[in-house]
A and B are shown apart, each in its own frame.
Chain A
Amino acid sequence: MKKTLITASALMVAVSGSVMAGTLDTVKERGAVQCGVTSGVPGFSVPDDKGNWKGIDVDMCRALAAAVLGDNTKVKYVPLTAKERFTALVSGEVDVLSRVTTWTQTRDTQLGINFAGVNYYDGQGFLVKKELGLKSVKELDGATVCVQSGTTTELNLSDYFRTHGLSFTPVVFDTNDQAASSFDSGRCDAFTTDLSQAAGLRTRMKDPSSVGALPEVISKEPLGPVVRQGDDQWFNIVKWTHNAMLNAEELGLTSANVDAKKAESKDPNVKRLLGLDGPKGKGLGLADDWAYQIVKQVGNYGESYERNLGSGSPLGLERGLNALWNQGGLQYGPPMR
């Protein structure tokens, strides 16, 4: 009955801790990580037909829950539009924004948010219909281009065409889904977005084989998890959750072999990562086996990538820039010691 009264009086108003309590305490008290995701970008965050969220951004949230609460299912997903995402984060509606968000100076410094790393290095590209026989973006002079509004993509598009002396007509939509389907139905000659998202959206088109990407990549789009400014502890947790996943891949730890390695490995790096030695979880305010839980329950970065974006997914994207640093990519986890 008491529970009933609390529910009735609170009436869906979630009071998530006071000013003094950090995000970590709030999350522990609540027993769930509130994670801001997209309303559906294949490979990054998308609900399947049973309503389970899947994707590399979703894995980030699950890893956080595993590290903080020891259970990767304790995540509450909040789908957000591009417009709402930053307000939702700074107002405390979500604890972390893991939602294909590009790291830019303005966002990092003026919106009261911090980027906690890059979990996907992306770039902006163009999709066109193959029947037009286009070879380069430079041939798109005078074209109509579908694009999502309020994104860095929109600004890059306009910059690129202007600097190359090309004219174009933008047609903007609130969601990438709408922009893609408008391109598909012929409202535009080209559709521009981050290449990884383009690959995902292409699979949803009427005839995916009739659509191809142009070779140019016109921008840098480092996508990563975002947290509120002013809570360094939580910022560190998110940052090191990502780093732990990278280091786990570098050390060859996977969800399948982590138990065996924990028992037998003599490698000091492995021991430190799994919390048998070294800094453990003290500095972060987490349990000592926080990184073990991540690897055990979610897997390392490579596993997450292959499952959601790589060969194990319908998108089939190459690792490319997102390979580890020692394999020719940019993903570089600082040492855990």
Chain B
Amino acid sequence: MSSDISNSGNTPQDNVPKGQLPPESKPKFWNDPRKRSLLFQILLLCGIGMVFYTIINNTLTNLDQRGITTGFDFISEKAGFGISMSLVEFTAESTYGWVFVIGLLNTILVAVLGIIGATILGFILGVARLSDNWLISKFSAVYIETFRNIPLLLQIFFWYFAVLRALPQPRQSIEFLGTFLNNRGFITPAPVAGEGFGLVVIALIVGILASWLTVRWAHKRQDESGKQFPILWTCVGLVVGLPLLAFFAAGMPISLDHPELKGFNFRGGLTIIPELIALWLALTIYTAAFIGETVRAGILAVSHGQTEAASALGLSKGRVLRFIVIPQAMRVIIPPLTSQYLNLTKNSSLATAIGYPDLVNVFAGTTLNQTGQAIEVIAMTMALYLTLSLLTSLFMNWYNAKMQLSER
């Protein structure tokens, strides 16, 4: 079909008698696709350059005319305000640069916690959605359809303003096994590392290294001799058992710092602020609905023949799942899963609406207000999120490449 057309396309040239050149052999330059595209691209570059030039010029003129301070000097200036939660030391003496770091760490904290929660809940939902049990699969379907169709911000507000606000005052805390729940957050005893705790950490590192070596050795042996080695149990023993042994050998060097009600609030212990709880709950519940759909699609993408063939080979149901279905489903699941992780990280910026001190709240919010340097602050914030997502894309590309290699 297509060859017919291309033949007929040649006919005009074939009609030109031999020995006689066509009247004009060289097309006009605007008819030459290569030159035309070159011209077009140069024009495009000029246009973009113009736009940028105008914007930058306008901005500089505006800033200059109105006497607005510019530059990144503010980063080393003292911030002078307090932050309700920080993973590392923060005092009012700290600089705006340090505020950026605190905000970033808080963003990462809630993103990591959210990713863990959403993955676990999402996988359960995805599998439950395919369950033979009518009640379970309908329950999962209703959950997914409800939560993914309600804006995340609304869910955050719901958890924060409607649920956590309704908790009792510190004096009437709900007490459970030494932990306390009230409208100031969730307060648990904090473990404090005593002398000799370094030994446990070293044991853990040794355990991880040793199990990595074991896995390599076991794989090699299996490839060569076909003999299997109980990898799982050995690794569990190494990673959990070794530190435990060290822990007891060092004389249990961990003490618990119990929270106590003193004055207004609990002193000591570890306080998880309600802003973090609300944000984490909302992010987990919302993203899990999307992950659930992803997981379901991934499992459905594994062709039925694969499962049947595996059963025919006599593999048990568990092994079919482990060796046949999951590895193939993961290949389909992981790319959309990563983009869900990325979405979750970006969505964590909604923290600013309830005052969780994430990057957008303390940096693009408070710092911007205090310094008034909107351009620098917003640019830094955007650049950081951009870096995070580029890193994720890089990981994705690497992962895809690796997956393709393992195909035979």
Show the binding face of A for B, using Cβ within 8 Å.
Answer: 82-83, 86-87, 90-91, 106-107, 109-113, 140-144, 149-151, 154-155, 157-159, 161-162, 168-174, 178, 182, 185-187, 189, 228-230
Contacts and interface: CB of A to CB of B under 8 A. Distances in A.
B264 A142 contact: yes
Contacts of A106: 372
Contacts of B183: 185-187
B62 interface: yes
29 contacts: A90-B66, A106-B372, A109-B67, A110-B69, A111-B68, A111-B372, A112-B67, A113-B66, A140-B264, A141-B263, A142-B262, A142-B263, A144-B265, A149-B355, A150-B365, A150-B368, A150-B369, A154-B82, A155-B81, A157-B82, A168-B82, A169-B82, A171-B84, A171-B355, A174-B365, A178-B355, A185-B165, A187-B165, A187-B184
B369 A230 contact: no
Given A112-B65, A168-B82, 7 more contacts: A90-B66, A110-B69, A143-B265, A144-B265, A150-B365, A158-B81, A171-B355
A87 B82 contact: no
B67 to A, nearest CB: 4
B80 interface: yes
A168 B365 CA distance: 21
Contacts of A171: 84, 275, 355
B220 interface: no
Given A155-B80, A162-B92, A170-B83, A150 B264 contact: no
A173 B68 CA distance: 26
Given A83-B368, A150-B366, A170 B66 contact: no
B352 interface: yes
Given A110-B372, A155-B80, A228 B165 contact: no
Given A83-B365, A186-B169, A229 B84 contact: no
B267 interface: yes
Contacts of B353: 174
B265 A142 contact: yes
A189 B264 contact: yes
Interface string B158-173: 0000000100010000
B355 A158 contact: no
A91 B62 contact: yes
Contacts of A110: 67-69, 372
A158 B82 contact: yes
A144 B183 CA distance: 11
Among A109, A173, A186, A187, the most chain B Cβ lie within 10 Å of the Cβ of A187
Contacts of A169: 82, 84, 265
B352 to A, nearest CB: 7
A228 B62 CA distance: 12
Nearest to A154: B81
Those 8 A-B pairs whose CB atoms lie nearest each other, nearest first? A150-B369, A112-B66, A170-B82, A110-B69, A112-B68, A112-B67, A158-B92, A143-B264
